[in-house]
Amino acid sequence: MIGSRTLATAALLLLMCAALSSCRGGKSPAAPGLRDARLAPCPASPNCVSSDAADGEHRIAPLQLAATPDEAWQAVRQLVAELPRTQVISETPDYLHAECRTLLGFVDDLEVQLRPAENIIAVRSASRLGYSDLGVNRKRVENLRAALIRRGMVR
């Protein structure tokens, strides 16, 4: 026989799961896209990193090109498309926006922008929901950087 405490705990967990599930894939607090030829600013919450951010909490280094802009851009596009649970949403010759789903089904927005005049690829990765991302967005960008370094595309 199930005790009342066990039943109450199970009911609470079920309620929490239902609440979280209803939030998955929500609308981005700062919609992805370019604003004055720059990536969207990060929200105040610590679940976003951007090479365009000025503050230390959100700032991440851009991808410094070590190959031609065309070669590096092609490699970035390929690597982003190959990320697990990732779907490319929009792409232009110098900008790409992808949705990355976490194992729990939450959606993060990943953006890259080629800036050949600066010899960089700007990058932004942000959670759509919640406050903390436990470093997932920063780790995603650093994993992308590491893969590009291994290919000789960035330094």
Q: How many CB atoms lie within 10 A of CB 102?
A: 13
Q: Which backbone phi and psi does 87 adopt, to 5 degrees?
A: -130, 125
pTM of the model: 0.81
> Rounded to an integer, what distance in angstroms lies between the CA atom of residue 19 and that of residue 59?
31
Q: What is the pLDDT of residues 11-50, one digit of tens each?
A: 444 334 333 433 444 444 567 889 889 999 999 999 999 9
Of 80, 52, 53, 75, the C-alpha closest to 65 is 75
Strands (E), the chain: 34-35, 38-39, 48-50, 63-64, 86-92, 95-101, 107-115, 120-127
The pLDDT score that the predictor gives to residue 4 is 61
